[in-house]
Amino acid sequence: MEVHRFLGQLATRRVWRLLRPVRRRRAHRAERRVLKQEAKLPSPPPSWWADDPRWFPRGTPPREHNRVTPLVDGNCFFARLQDELARAEHYVYIAGWCLTPEIPLRRGDEDDTVRTRLSELLGDCSRRVPVRILLWGGAPFMLQPTLRTMEAVQQAIRSKARGDVQCRLDQTARVSHCHHQKAIVVDGRVAFVGGMDLTTYQGDRWDTPRHALRSGPNWHDVQLCLEGEVVADVEHNFRQRWTEVSGADDLTHRDPTTEPSWQTPVQIVRTIPANVYKFAPRGEFGIHHAYIRALRQARRLIYIENQYLWSPTVVKALIYAMNRPRDEPFRIVIVLPARAYEGKWDNDQHVAQLRDADRGRGIVSVYCPYASGPRAGLKPFYYRPIYVHAKVGIVDDEWLTVGSANLNTRGLATDSEINAVVRDGDVARNLRVRLWAEHLAMPADQVAATDPIDLVDHLWPERAATNARIIHEADRLLEGHIHRYEIGRMPGTWLLEEVESVAVEL
């Protein structure tokens, strides 16, 4: 059965690759339609945010009074989520792409792994408060997870329910597209938005910044914990979609609380495809708007982590920023997975386009992270890519966005997505410092004390070159995680490593 499933998946991948030219043409047309809508956007009303074109003038407006806490990698996010679920007093709303009911949120010991399974935590919550879960309905064919898989997930949630739990499947997405939002609201008091699904599907989202080598792919991701006025906008998104799918507008609501010290401006922006939901018949493309405006206005530094770099308009915005006249150094750093699922070729094409536009000026650097550990066999160590699933954009240590949207047409035009846009120098800079400290294996205070341009020009390429030599010689652990992104084949063949790990004694 497993062989049949593998062969079926292999055939699907081959068909998907054969359709690549058609997909690209459709993607470009979809982005052109978004650009036409962008040109028709109304001017923002007079307000405190009207002078900054990076804010999206449609959808929910920016909110001034918020607290934003970045949560890097699954261990950090899952632990905070468990704490908030334990505190729930009124309701829990979860919107996701896929969900694994038995995923444990803590991995400290065997007891934690059993006690903190999501199904157990939601079951406990549902005895106190209503729990509502909205998931993508799955694909009828070609893509994963399928409708059959999602129906099995829905049934597993229902079978584990101990109280007021409802799980609905949103099947309004067009064929070959999906609902990709990842957002959670607890009591109208706190919300989570980012790249992390509550699932082990395609890879276990739980990991730590050390990324100790494990049996499945290591996973790098980022989530934001939001408190304050903006929580109501995350909930508003859930309520709109839930009402459309269920036909009932009966969800409990509580106004968010704020504190005087919460002064971080945040806007919730979305990708809502046209002609999918009645509440947005012409669609909503705030994530595309925010990214393009922020990238084109960048003055000194753009830092991006993303699973995919396929969007032609994003690449054009990066090239525009690269070629703008300026009196100070300007750098672009991009972190991608070494081998994106069904997307290595597309990432390669756009990385090559950026490097060609750079013309040897040293403006653009593209990297991918690796994990390392001991192995059996003649060579004592081996090295495997860390899967980058984060969707992070940071510009000039002053503006940032984190959410569910990849930098492809699906994320910016044709799938449902949700991002938070934050304009706060402390939050943006601290997140960049934390991410760079993880990738470079460098103390955060040293990263913070060093000019980012100096790090980009010296330490990033030095670490990458050192790690390339280590992987070639296979004689020690990596220094940090960074490796230069290569067009074509990257080191670390998963299949070969798995075959080598199987020993048959005769």
Q: What is the pLDDT of residues 36-62, one digit of tens each?
A: 676 667 777 889 999 999 999 999 999
Bridge partners (DSSP) of residue 268 are: 420
- 399 Cβ contact list (under 8 Å, min separation 6): 54, 294, 421, 422, 423, 428
Position 506 confidence tier, pLDDT thresholds 50, 70, 90:
very low
| Mean pLDDT across the chain | 91
Domain boundary residue among 204, 236, 263?
A: 263
Q: What mean pLDDT comes out for the span 442-454?
A: 98
- 95 Cβ contact list (under 8 Å, min separation 6): 133, 134, 135, 179, 181, 182, 183, 184, 237, 238, 241, 418
Rg for the chain, CA atoms, rounded: 22
Q: 311 pLDDT exceeds 70? A: yes
Q: How many CB atoms lie within 10 A of CB 218?
A: 24
Q: Which of 457, 317, 481 is nearest to 393 (CA)?
A: 317
Domain count, the chain: 2
Answer whether residue 337 is part of any domain.
yes
Look up the domain containing 223 and give its range: 66-263
Q: Which of 135, 101, 119, 122 is nearest to 164 (CA)?
A: 122
Same domain, 241 and 373: no
Write down the pLDDT at residue 5: 46
CB 342 within 8 A of CB 310: no
DSSP 324: S
Q: 320 pLDDT exceeds 90? A: yes
Write down the pLDDT at residue 26: 65
Q: Give CA torsion, residues 27, 222, 100, 200, to 10 deg.
A: 80
Q: What is the pLDDT of residues 192-244, one digit of tens each?
A: 999 999 999 999 999 999 999 998 899 999 999 999 999 999 999 999 999 99
Domain boundary residue among 263, 290, 321?
A: 263
pTM beyond 0.85: yes
Q: Can you tell me the distance from the alpha carbon of 235 to that of 185, in angstroms, rounded to the nearest whole number?
A: 6
Q: Can you tell me the distance from the alpha carbon of 255 to that of 259, in angstroms, rounded to the nearest whole number?
A: 13
Same domain, 236 and 333: no
Q: What mean pLDDT comes out for the span 361-380?
A: 92
Position 390 confidence tier, pLDDT thresholds 50, 70, 90:
very high
Q: What is the pLDDT of residues 134-182, one digit of tens each?
A: 999 998 876 789 999 999 999 999 988 889 999 999 999 988 899 999 9
Same domain, 296 and 436: yes
SS (H, E, C) 430-478: HHHHHHHHHHHCCCHHHHHHCCHHHHHHHHHHHHHHHHHHHHHHCCCCC
Q: Is residue 145 reached through a cis peptide bond, with omega within 30 degrees of 0 on the bond before it?
A: yes
Q: Can you tell me the distance from the alpha carbon of 411 to that of 179, in angstroms, rounded to the nearest whole number?
A: 10
CB 328 within 8 A of CB 363: no
Structure tokens at 66: 């918020």
Write down the pLDDT at residue 46: 81
* CATH number of the domain bearing residue 182: 3.30.870.10
Element (DSSP H or E) covering residue 42: none
Q: Can you tell me the distance from the alpha carbon of 241 to that of 193, in angstroms, rounded to the nearest whole number?
A: 16
Domain boundary residue among 263, 298, 323?
A: 263
Q: Can you tell me the distance from the alpha carbon of 228 to that of 191, in angstroms, rounded to the nearest whole number?
A: 9
Answer whether residue 417 is part of any domain.
yes
Helices 20-39 and 344-358: angle between axes, nearest 10 degrees: 60
Q: Can you tell me the distance from the alpha carbon of 269 to that of 51, in angstroms, rounded to the nearest whole number?
A: 18
Same domain, 259 and 288: no
Answer whether residue 422 is part of any domain.
yes
Lowest-pLDDT range, 329-343, 461-475, 484-498? 484-498
Torsion sign over Cα 185, 186, 191, 194: negative
DSSP 312: H
Q: How many CB atoms lie within 10 A of CB 64?
A: 16
Q: Can you tell me the distance from the alpha carbon of 307 to that of 340, in angstroms, rounded to the nearest whole number?
A: 6
Q: Can you tell me the distance from the alpha carbon of 6 to that of 196, in angstroms, rounded to the nearest whole number?
A: 26
Answer whether residue 27 is part of any domain.
no
Same domain, 143 and 176: yes
Same domain, 79 and 138: yes
Same domain, 339 and 458: yes
Same domain, 233 and 381: no
Position 15 confidence tier, pLDDT thresholds 50, 70, 90:
low
